[in-house]
Amino acid sequence: MKRHSMWLFVVIVALLSCATDRVAEKPTAHDFFRRGVDAEKTNTYEEAVKMYTGAVELDRYYAEAYLRRGVATLGADKTNVMDALRDFNRAIDLDPKNPEAYYQRGLLNAFSISNQDARTDMQTAAGLGHKGAQQWLAPKRQQEEKDAERQQATAAAAPRAVEAEPAPAAAEKQAGKKAEPFFVPGKPLPSGSEPVVRFDHDRAEVKEQYYPLLDEVARILTENAPEAAIVLAGHTDATGTEKYNEGLSLRRAKAVETYLTSQRGLPSARFQLKGYGEEVPIAANDTEEGRAKNRRVEILDAGTPAEPPAAATR
């Protein structure tokens, strides 16, 4: 009887030990978080999203996990803007003093064409000591200072301009005419180039061959049309899904704006970015030549309609 009791005691102890080991082996929210960080380091973003999701499911107040999941979500697919934005908003709600959360949301807002929201987030991040946000704001502050100096110089010269012979644009105003826009579909620039930047398949990088064209656009906007607002209208061919093409067309428009602002010093406030995806073709999409023509960003005066020609087919 004693022998049976002893064996029963041993079995119970063994079972309790196994149960304790299983409890100890159950991953915590922080375990999931660390696995997500490791996955991000190898650019395995889909796996990182799963790990961060496991972390927030175990701890819905884990602000850093929401932040990293938003970053990984965009790494997996840059069109997942709304999912990432929800995570950044949640991270900021939980930790309103986290500069990285404002910085990442600022980058997302800049990508999704919400320039004022982007600037507000970057200012908050910079105020909290974020170096990346401070660097992001620096060229924009320099441009604002240049714009202010230019406006002061214009205002100081205004009394003398009253006595001078009116410039062509002023003369047209006096005659009740509207100045002719510089950037309209089918109208070449003074160099003879059309104000259109074309892209390789599934790419959003401005090719070096278009730098002279964009330099000419910048000169016109600075010297001949300093008050003009410009639309950068992005387009794709018909390959890929509509959702993906809409995001790709916006990225192409953003790439052109980035060159004009960072390389030529134009203020981003002058540009409106639009992404039409595959909806406004100018050539048939059943040939490579036609698809190459459709992969473009058109530079247009604000108010110019982006309507397809009657002969265009998708």
Amino acid of residue 84: A
Spatial neighbors of 282 by CB under 8 A, at least 6 apart, are: 235, 293, 294, 296, 308, 309, 312
Beta bridge partners of 297: 197, 234
In the prediction, which pLDDT does 9 show?
62
Task: Give the whole-angstrom CA distance, residue 217 versus residue 182.
Answer: 9
Identify which has the larger pLDDT, 16 or 222.
222
Tell me: pLDDT of 173 over 50.
no
Tokens of 138: 């620096």
Percent of the chain whose pLDDT exceeds 90? 34
Tokens of 11: 């079995």
Q: What is the DSSP string of 216-285?
A: HHHHIIIII-TT--EEEEEE--S-S-HHHHHHHHHHHHHHHHHIIIIIT---GGGEEEEE-TTSS-SS-T
Tell me: pLDDT of 166 over 80.
no
Q: What angle do CA 299, 301, 307 make, to 5 degrees?
A: 75
In the prediction, which pLDDT does 295 show?
95
Mean residue pLDDT across the chain: 80
User: Strand runs (DSSP E) across the chain, as ranges?
Assistant: 196-198, 230-235, 271-275, 296-301
Identify which has the larger pLDDT, 75 or 164.
75
Task: Give the whole-angstrom CA distance, residue 308 versus residue 133.
Answer: 40
| pTM of the shown model | 0.47
Mean pLDDT of 28-32: 93
Lowest mean pLDDT among 92-101, 135-144, 176-185, 260-269: 176-185
Percent of the chain whose pLDDT exceeds 70? 74
Burial of 197 (C-beta count, 10 Å sphere; 0-12/13-18/19+): buried
In the prediction, which pLDDT does 279 show?
92
pLDDT digits (tens, 9 = 90+) for 233-281: 999 999 888 888 988 999 999 999 989 988 888 888 888 888 899 999 9
In the prediction, which pLDDT does 281 show?
92
In the prediction, which pLDDT does 311 show?
37
Amino acid of residue 182: F
Tell me: pLDDT of 175 over 60.
no
Of 66, 74, 129, nearest in space to 93 by CA: 66
End-to-end CA distance of the chain: 88
pLDDT digits (tens, 9 = 90+) for 68-103: 999 999 888 878 888 888 999 999 999 999 999 999
In the prediction, which pLDDT does 176 show?
43
Burial of 80 (C-beta count, 10 Å sphere; 0-12/13-18/19+): middle
Q: Domains of the chain (ranges plus CATH)?
A: 8-133 (1.25.40.10), 175-301 (3.30.1330.60)
Name the region of 151 (left: φ>0; alpha: ψ -120 to 50; beta: rest): alpha
